Amino acid sequence: MTAASENPAAATVPSVVDLLVTGGDVLTMDDTRRIILDGAIAIRDGIVVAVDTTSALRARFPGAAELDATDCVVTPGFVNTHQHITGDPLARSCAPDDLPPGASIFQWAVPLNDAHGPDDDGLAATLTLVDSLLNGVTTVIEAGTIGHLAPAAAAAQTVGIRAGLGVWGWDIEFGPFTAPTAETLARQAATLDMLPTCGLVEGWVSLVGHDLASDELLVGAAELARQRGAQMTMHISPTSNDAEAYVKRSGVRPLVHFDRLGILGPHLLLAHAVWLDDTEVDLVTTSGTSIAYCPWAYLHHGQGVSKMSSHMRMHRSGVHIGLGCDAPNANDGVDILDAARLAVGIGKDAPIDPTCCSAYDGLEMATIGGAAAAGMSDRIGALAVGMSADLVVHDATAPQWRPRGNPVQQLIWAAQGRTVRDVLVAGRQVVRNGRCTTVDEVDLRRRAMDHQSGVLSRAGLTIPQRWPVIDGRAASLGDGVLLASAPAQASAHA
Ligand SMILES: [Zn+2]
């Protein structure tokens, strides 16, 4: 009996398909986590209609067009559940990585967002989303800080990636894109009107979160999400600051306060949730709330994740935990498998127990965990009949895959996103042989370079240099020009 014939949906399998992805070792991430060596996936109208061995599907669909994945590993597309796609992507690696707490946000990210015009948002989104595809990420949930939605949404549609997008949502007194509560809620509703749910690019209710929303906004946003069948996301507790603020504000920790307001639930994806106490972990579990876990951001900022993280424990107990790469001021990469590797490492190291999790947990978080956290587990996260054909072909002839071992371990610990060869989103090939098919990458990166200085200038920022920099490019004759001199502490690092 073939795999597809075991599935009730097999009765509806068409006799003709658009494409067979053949010859690869397929990590299906289906309900039983089958791994099919020399496997194949049949796709019709962007949907997976059969998953089986290559010989079985060639026999069933003779003459079908094929994408040859021989010597490759095929996985579902990866899900990034927390990614800022505007604001600081054009200033990647510009903010120093040793700033004091909060400075990368308020001295860099906020002014950069404020300095962005519509064109900058569209370009930054395109850059981030193309890089995501090149790392095998087929779904990106934006973190709720888009200033100009229309160009960002157009960018996602042009790139051809699956995305959940939201606009800045806060009703604080001062800050970019802040507005009174009613106006902030109206913007959220307009986002849902513009980008209906279940499209490739869908609207989300998104608040900045932290301690930067009134109770009226928190409740109104949750009601809007529930009424419209939309998902909602917001930041909370990457450090101890939010807990201290909420105790001062309401007498209880943040998730206890949210529970009293009635805003927790399956519609809600909390970004971070690192500094939770046991009561808050219980509230996440019992309410069905999901978490976007961005381990590189907490290490980059030195926020105590290795002491406080309960994410792996929550994942193992059934909480929907997705992975995120956050923002360039916190993590310059968008490789979700790199985040998965780190999540597994922290999961072992924090309890000082190598037996408590494995690469299998990391791959679950990057696929079905992220899909469930984003409220999309009916569509993405696994290669199974009826799911969208969002998949990644990894080139297993690359050095990271030779010699071959356990494919799950090798993907997480050795390859990450560096061996992505081809990517399909809803059956459309958006990466071929490591190059994006929907956007001219050379022109994209040139435009990003051109826009950077203008954005930094409008934000009043310059790229600091600790060590002396000699600009040989500026000197057509003779010695180079000294651009920056080394402060005294540089010699201590030399
Ligand atoms: Zn964030």
Domain edges within the chain: 4-76+383-436, 78-373, 465-494
Q: Check whether 20 has a pLDDT greater than 50.
A: yes
Portion of the chain with pLDDT greater than 90, in percent: 86
Of the pLDDT bands very low, low, confident and very high (cuts 50, 70, 90), residue 99 is very high
Task: State the pLDDT at residue 122.
Answer: 98
Cα separation values, 398 from 189, 403, 415, Å: 47, 10, 9
Q: Provide the residue count of the chain.
A: 494
Q: Check whether 308 has a pLDDT greater than 80.
A: yes
Mean pLDDT over each residue of the chain, to the nearest integer = 93
Give the residue, 180 or 174, on which the prediction is more confident: 180
Measured in Å, residue 192 CA sits from the centre of ligand 1 at: 21
CA nearest neighbour of 455 among 86, 85, 84, 90: 90
Task: State the pLDDT at residue 492.
Answer: 35
Of the pLDDT bands very low, low, confident and very high (cuts 50, 70, 90), residue 332 is confident
Measured in Å, residue 19 CA sits from the centre of ligand 1 at: 37
Measured in Å, residue 234 CA sits from the centre of ligand 1 at: 8
**245 contacts 211 by C-beta, under 8 angstroms:** yes
Measured in Å, residue 145 CA sits from the centre of ligand 1 at: 8
Q: Check whether 30 has a pLDDT greater than 50.
A: yes
Give the residue, 173 or 339, on which the prediction is more confident: 339
Measured in Å, residue 438 CA sits from the centre of ligand 1 at: 27
CA nearest neighbour of 407 among 76, 31, 37: 37
Task: State the pLDDT at residue 482.
Answer: 56
Q: Which CATH architecture has domain 4-76+383-436?
A: Roll (2.30)
Q: Check whether 5 has a pLDDT greater than 50.
A: no
Q: Check whether 2 has a pLDDT greater than 60.
A: no
Q: Check whether 4 has a pLDDT greater than 50.
A: no
- Pick the range with the lowest mean pLDDT from 12-21, 384-393, 452-461: 12-21
Task: State the pLDDT at residue 105.
Answer: 87
Task: State the pLDDT at residue 481.
Answer: 54
CATH tag, 78-373: 3.20.20.140
Measured in Å, residue 328 CA sits from the centre of ligand 1 at: 10
DSSP reduced 3-state for 50 = strand
Of the pLDDT bands very low, low, confident and very high (cuts 50, 70, 90), residue 143 is very high
Average of per-residue pLDDT across 472-480 = 62
Instruction: Report d(CA 394, CA 136) in Å as an integer.
Output: 9
Record the pTM.
0.94
Cα separation values, 106 from 82, 112, 140, 193, 466, Å: 19, 10, 24, 31, 21
**269 contacts 312 by C-beta, under 8 angstroms:** no
Measured in Å, residue 84 CA sits from the centre of ligand 1 at: 6
Q: Check whether 258 has a pLDDT greater than 90.
A: yes
Measured in Å, residue 330 CA sits from the centre of ligand 1 at: 9
Measured in Å, residue 236 CA sits from the centre of ligand 1 at: 9
Instruction: Report d(CA 51, CA 30) in Å as an integer.
Output: 10
Measured in Å, residue 272 CA sits from the centre of ligand 1 at: 8
Give the residue, 331 or 403, on which the prediction is more confident: 403
| Residues at Cβ < 5 Å from ligand 1 ion | 143, 326
Measured in Å, residue 249 CA sits from the centre of ligand 1 at: 22
Average of per-residue pLDDT across 394-422 = 98
Task: State the pLDDT at residue 379.
Answer: 96
Measured in Å, residue 299 CA sits from the centre of ligand 1 at: 14
Average of per-residue pLDDT across 371-382 = 97
Residues whose CB is less than 8 angstroms from the CB of residue 50 and which lie 6 or more positions away in sequence, other chains included? 4, 10, 13, 17, 40, 41, 42, 57, 60, 61, 385
Average of per-residue pLDDT across 161-177 = 94
Measured in Å, residue 170 CA sits from the centre of ligand 1 at: 14
Give the residue, 330 or 389, on which the prediction is more confident: 389
User: 418-471, pLDDT tens digit by residue?
Assistant: 999 999 999 999 999 999 999 999 999 999 999 999 999 999 999 999 999 998
Task: State the pLDDT at residue 12.
Answer: 62
Q: Check whether 488 has a pLDDT greater than 80.
A: no
Task: State the pLDDT at residue 211.
Answer: 95
Q: Sort strands 137-142 and 47-53 into parallel, antiparallel or unpaired.
A: unpaired
Average of per-residue pLDDT across 51-61 = 98
Measured in Å, residue 329 CA sits from the centre of ligand 1 at: 10
Q: Check whether 7 has a pLDDT greater than 50.
A: no
Measured in Å, residue 275 CA sits from the centre of ligand 1 at: 15
Measured in Å, residue 294 CA sits from the centre of ligand 1 at: 9
User: 219-253, pLDDT tens digit by residue?
Assistant: 999 999 999 999 999 999 999 999 999 999 999 99
Measured in Å, residue 146 CA sits from the centre of ligand 1 at: 11
Task: State the pLDDT at residue 387.
Answer: 98
Of the pLDDT bands very low, low, confident and very high (cuts 50, 70, 90), residue 476 is low
Measured in Å, residue 133 CA sits from the centre of ligand 1 at: 20
Residues whose CB is less than 8 angstroms from the CB of residue 119 and which lie 6 or more positions away in sequence, other chains included? 151, 451
Measured in Å, residue 462 CA sits from the centre of ligand 1 at: 23
